[in-house]
A = this chain, B = another copy of it.
C-alpha cells in the first residue's frame, strides 16, 4: 500500500493511519467528513476513536496527503490529494459533488489578485446548483 507516503511524511505507520488511508483510497465517495470516515471504521470493526480520526486527518493535511474542503455544511470534508488542483460543484438537492478545473478561471484569479496588489497563495471556489442526475430528488420525473 501507500505506507511509503506515511514514512515520507515522517509519520509512523500505525493501524489507524493505514485504515484511514485505505478508506480515503477505496471509498466510492471521494469527499468524506471525519464522521463518515469514523463510521466506516466502526462498520469495519475497527476500534478507532473519533479524536484520532480528526488528528490523523489534520496531520495528513499538513503532510499534503489530503486536502480539507468546506463545501457548505458545518462539517469539513477531506479528499485524497491525487495529482492536481481542482474546484467543486455541489448539488443543492442531493449533495452530489463534481470536480472541475478551468484554466481560464485560474488565470483570471491570478490577474485579479495582481491588480489588487495581492500575491495569491490559494483560493476556494465552490459552485452550487441543481444537478440533472437521474437519482437527484430534485429532478422532475
Contacts and interface: CB of A to CB of B under 8 A. Distances in A.
Interface of A: 70, 89, 91-92, 98, 100, 102, 104-105, 108-109, 112-113, 115-133
Nearest to A116: B98
Contacts of A131: 116-118
A118 B10 CA distance: 41
Given A104-B104, A118-B129, A120-B128, 9 more contacts: A89-B116, A92-B121, A98-B116, A100-B116, A109-B125, A116-B131, A120-B129, A123-B127, A125-B126
Count this chain's copies in the assembly.
2
A126 B121 CA distance: 11
Contact of A129 (B113, B126, B127, B130): B113
B127 A126 contact: no
A130 B108 contact: no
Most chain B beta-carbon neighbours within 10 Å: one of A92, A105, A133 = A105
Contacts of A92: 121
Contact of A127 (B91, B102, B109, B127): B109
Contact of A128 (B70, B122, B129): B122
